[in-house]
């Protein structure tokens, strides 16, 4: 099969880690006989320098024509003094809106070899952790009606509104159930239905959508309890389905229990197959250009692309296994280094994972 992939390396360590993900893409192509046609585009600070704006129209058009988008990271001190809508990060918001991506998927996995990096006690993570947080990305309080109330004789006040339509809940719920079908078939829907009317609607809709997925087990959890359970017994979770604001908080909490930001990928999806895949880390200007960055988050983002946009589940599994094997053999970049392990740079880590892909499967 032939696939068109937009590649937007961005700034800082973005180009370095993306280059390694591209090498893995080529290795997967050779292994399975697929043709991946790469289309380079600019986003973030490098786009500001070249075109005067963080998301040039040509980049968005390019992405719309492709099957999937692989993104590195954006931003850096060079552009920090620019106004908000001209900053590199505005490119990210723009591309998510422009491609109508309403679902954000963030796995939090603790690999056997990296258990010591987790801030959680060994007995809590002894069976490993593999959670996928599915967060609604374009609705809820962050985008609801908001304002300031200034009335004579009254203290100043402000409000933000959490609004969800049944349709918005339905489409994100479907993403979560579809993802669960590719995993352990358990969905935990997180809300605050004991207090919030929007959560009660959320729950009703999720229950209704669950009927279309009889093989998936659904349970509900209040967000305060979910925050506790994530550190008390994270192994109980498979897919966590939640709103924009709760997801913002819980996905960061889930990431931190893995203890390794350089390992964590993400996917943003819309109603079609087109998706945007990027590491959750930023451009890390402090280590840019030094061959120190961990490319695994970018490589695992590519793995997610295989699964969610291209439906190449076998290739996705192969990428995940190759990463795991290289870690099991004791290779580490600086951010995940531990005593007795073998220190590698960005390029060597990419090469090792590529070789592993050639070897196994
Ligand atoms: P942003 O606001 O764009 O997320 P940030 O500075 O808050 O940026 P990151 O850019 O993610 O956060 O980096 C935080 C620190 O984590 C960096 O300074 C870097 O040392 C480390 N780091 C991030 N990503 C990686 C990586 N892939 N490999 C190694 N270290 C990393």
**3 state SS of 82:** coil
CA 76 – CA 87 distance, rounded (Å): 10
Q: What is the CATH number of the domain that holds 67?
A: 3.40.718.10
Ligand 1 atom 12 nearest Cα: 282
CA 335 – CA 347 distance, rounded (Å): 15
Tell me what pLDDT residue 151 has.
87
Ligand 1 atom 3 nearest Cα: 282
pLDDT per position as a tens digit, 139-180: 999 999 999 998 899 889 999 999 999 999 999 999 999 999
Q: Is the pLDDT of residue 361 over 80?
A: no
What residue numbers bound the domain in which 136 lies? 119-257
User: For residues 332 and 342, is the Cβ–Cβ distance under 8 A?
Assistant: yes
The reply to whether 276 and 253 lie within a common domain is no
The reply to whether 182 and 158 lie within a common domain is yes
151 CA distance to ligand 1 centroid (A)? 44
Tell me what pLDDT residue 38 has.
98
295 CA distance to ligand 1 centroid (A)? 12
Number of domains in the chain: 2
Ligand 1, pocket residues at CB < 6 Å: 13, 17, 75, 261-262, 281-284, 286-287, 293-294, 297, 335
pLDDT per position as a tens digit, 237-255: 999 999 999 999 999 999 9
61 CA distance to ligand 1 centroid (A)? 29
pLDDT per position as a tens digit, 59-107: 999 999 999 999 999 999 999 999 988 999 999 999 999 999 999 999 9
Q: Which is it for the CA torsion 192, 243, 204, 241, positive or negative?
A: negative
pLDDT per position as a tens digit, 19-40: 999 999 999 999 999 999 999 9
What is the value of pTM for the model shown? 0.95
Q: Which among 42, 192, 292, 307 is annotated as catalytic?
A: 192
Return the CA Rg of the chain.
Answer: 21
The reply to whether 337 and 288 lie within a common domain is yes
The reply to whether 248 and 351 lie within a common domain is no
Assess whether 252 carries a catalytic annotation: yes
For a mutational test of ligand 1's pocket, the pick from 106, 259, 261, i.e. the residue with the most ligand atoms closer than 8 A to its C-beta, is: 261
Q: Which among 224, 286, 313, 328 is annotated as catalytic?
A: 224
């Amino acid at each position: 099969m032939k696939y068109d992939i937009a590649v937007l390396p961005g700034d800082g360590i973005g180009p370095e880690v993306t280059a390694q993900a591209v090498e893995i893409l080529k290795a997967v192509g050779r292994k399975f006989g697929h043709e991946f046609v790469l289309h380079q585009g600019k986003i973030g600070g490098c786009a500001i320098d070249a075109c005067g704006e963080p998301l040039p129209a040509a980049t968005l058009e390019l992405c719309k024509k492709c099957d999937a988008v692989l993104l590195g990271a954006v931003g850096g001190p060079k552009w920090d003094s620019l106004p908000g809508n001209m900053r590199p990060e505005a490119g990210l918001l723009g591309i998510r809106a422009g491609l109508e991506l309403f679902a954000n998927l963030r796995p939090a996995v603790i690999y056997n070899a990296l258990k010591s990096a987790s801030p959680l006690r060994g007995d809590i993570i002894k069976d490993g952790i593999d959670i996928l947080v599915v967060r609604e990305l374009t609705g809820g309080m962050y985008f609801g009606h908001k304002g300031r109330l200034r009335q004579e004789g009254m203290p100043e006040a402000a409000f933000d509104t959490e609004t969800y339509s049944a349709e918005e809940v339905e489409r994100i719920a479907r993403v979560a159930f579809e993802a669960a079908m590719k995993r352990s078939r358990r969905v935990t829907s997180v809300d605050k239905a004991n207090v919030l009317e929007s959560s009660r609607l959320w729950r009703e809709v999720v229950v209704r959508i669950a009927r279309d997925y009889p093989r998936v087990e659904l349970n509900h959890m209040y967000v305060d309890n979910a925050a506790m359970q994530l550190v008390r017994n994270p192994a109980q979770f498979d897919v966590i389905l939640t709103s924009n604001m709760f997801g913002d908080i819980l996905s960061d909490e889930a990431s931190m229990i893995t203890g390794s930001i350089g390992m964590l990928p993400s996917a943003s999806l819309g109603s079609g197959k087109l998706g945007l895949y990027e590491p959750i880390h930023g451009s890390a200007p402090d280590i840019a250009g030094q061959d120190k960055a961990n490319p695994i988050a970018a490589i695992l983002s590519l793995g997610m692309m295989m699964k969610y946009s291209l439906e190449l589940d076998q290739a996705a599994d192969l990428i995940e296994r190759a990463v795991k094997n290289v870690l099991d053999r004791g290779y580490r970049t600086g951010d995940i280094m531990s005593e007795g392990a073998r220190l590698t740079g960005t390029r060597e880590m990419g090469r090792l994972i590529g070789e592993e892909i050639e070897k196994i499967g």
